[in-house]
């Protein structure tokens, strides 16, 4: 098996079916399998998939175990020499699998790669082309310097606005909506860290993959459409909390030993403040 396509469903039945159909319309000589993990959905997706796509492997969870743990369940049974994390709210092009596998086959130093990811309006999903969220990069991003000076590499360390999104680049991290990973890299660094519930696990995985010497490749010769945030609309308070908790977990895991206690304290204070403000704003919107 060349590639195992992992799709996680959480009450996004129609989008999930659209994603599966787009994969099955792929024009490629490579062999692939699709593994669907359902996180205790109530949308009837499991029954439809089993009826319409009997060849798909389906894993059903009794509770929502989160993005990382669910994908790890699929990785454990996957047979492919490549593992593709693919969001249930995406549409791949007919040539996407073919182009990306060929790219990986011809670049053995690449441990993980991603294609260009665009939103329904055609604009770039900036998450597909990122640097690591170091304290400096996060500061410039949080306070708007990256928007004020988009062509300056110093101020756009996180979103990499200075790079041409239509050209291939070696970058720091990809987005979990489309992330193609070499099995050898997974065997070396391990699976996704399920400490992360649904944010940050893609950055953490890329960090670990790159840390042991693999390259991370952004390869925009093909693209996918990302109908962003479909499943995250269900529990806004939970989603806001997990978004900021992921920042806390990532910094604690990778950056605490590299920075002084002053910098670490400022980072955690900033995350806590941003979380508090976000929760207050969220509550005000709900009251209105």
Does residue 98 share a domain with residue 35? yes
Domain annotation covers residue 139: no
What residues of the chain score a pLDDT lower than 50? 233-234
Q: Name residue, tokens 């101020």.
A: 155
Does residue 243 share a domain with residue 123? no
Per-residue model confidence (pLDDT) at position 239: 87
Per-residue model confidence (pLDDT) at position 179: 98
Per-residue model confidence (pLDDT) at position 11: 94
pTM of the model: 0.92
Does residue 225 share a domain with residue 250? no
Per-residue model confidence (pLDDT) at position 115: 98
Does residue 272 share a domain with residue 243? yes
Tally of structural domains, the chain: 2
Per-residue model confidence (pLDDT) at position 282: 81
Q: What are the tens digits of pLDDT across the range 220-256?
A: 999 999 998 655 544 578 888 999 999 999 999 999 9
Q: What are the tens digits of pLDDT across the range 120-137?
A: 999 999 999 999 999 999
The range of the structural domain enclosing residue 262 comes to 236-287
Does residue 267 share a domain with residue 218? no
Does residue 187 share a domain with residue 240? no
Per-residue model confidence (pLDDT) at position 236: 73
């Amino acid at each position: 098996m060349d590639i195992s396509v992992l799709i996680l469903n959480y009450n996004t039945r129609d989008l999930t079916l659209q994603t599966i159909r787009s994969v099955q319309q792929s024009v490629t000589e490579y062999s692939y399998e699709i593994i669907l993990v359902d996180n205790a959905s109530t949308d009837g997706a499991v029954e439809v998939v089993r009826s319409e796509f009997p060849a798909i492997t389906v894993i059903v969870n009794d509770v929502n175990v989160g993005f990382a743990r669910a994908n790890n369940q699929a990785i454990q049974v996957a047979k492919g020499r490549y593992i593709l994390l693919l969001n249930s709210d995406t549409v791949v092009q007919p040539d996407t699998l073919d182009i990306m596998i060929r790219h990986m086959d011809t670049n053995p130093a690449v441990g993980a790669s991603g294609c260009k990811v665009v939103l329904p309006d055609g604009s770039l999903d900036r998450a597909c082309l990122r640097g690591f969220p170091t304290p400096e990069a996060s500061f410039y991003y949080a306070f708007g310097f990256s928007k004020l000076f988009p062509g300056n590499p110093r101020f756009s360390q996180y979103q990499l606005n200075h790079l041409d999104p239509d050209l291939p680049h070696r970058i720091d991290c990809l987005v979990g909506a489309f992330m193609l990973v070499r099995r050898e890299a997974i065997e070396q660094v391990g699976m996704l860290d399920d400490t992360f519930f649904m944010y940050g696990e893609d950055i953490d995985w890329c960090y670990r993959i790159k840390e042991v010497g693999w390259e991370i490749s952004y390869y925009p010769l093909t693209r996918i459409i990302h109908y962003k945030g479909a499943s995250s609309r269900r529990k806004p308070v939970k989603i806001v909390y997990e978004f900021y908790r992921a920042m806390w977990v990532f910094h604690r895991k990778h950056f605490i030993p590299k920075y002084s206690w002053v910098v670490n304290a400022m980072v955690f204070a900033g995350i806590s403040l941003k979380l508090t403000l976000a929760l207050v704003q969220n509550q005000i919107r709900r009251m209105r």
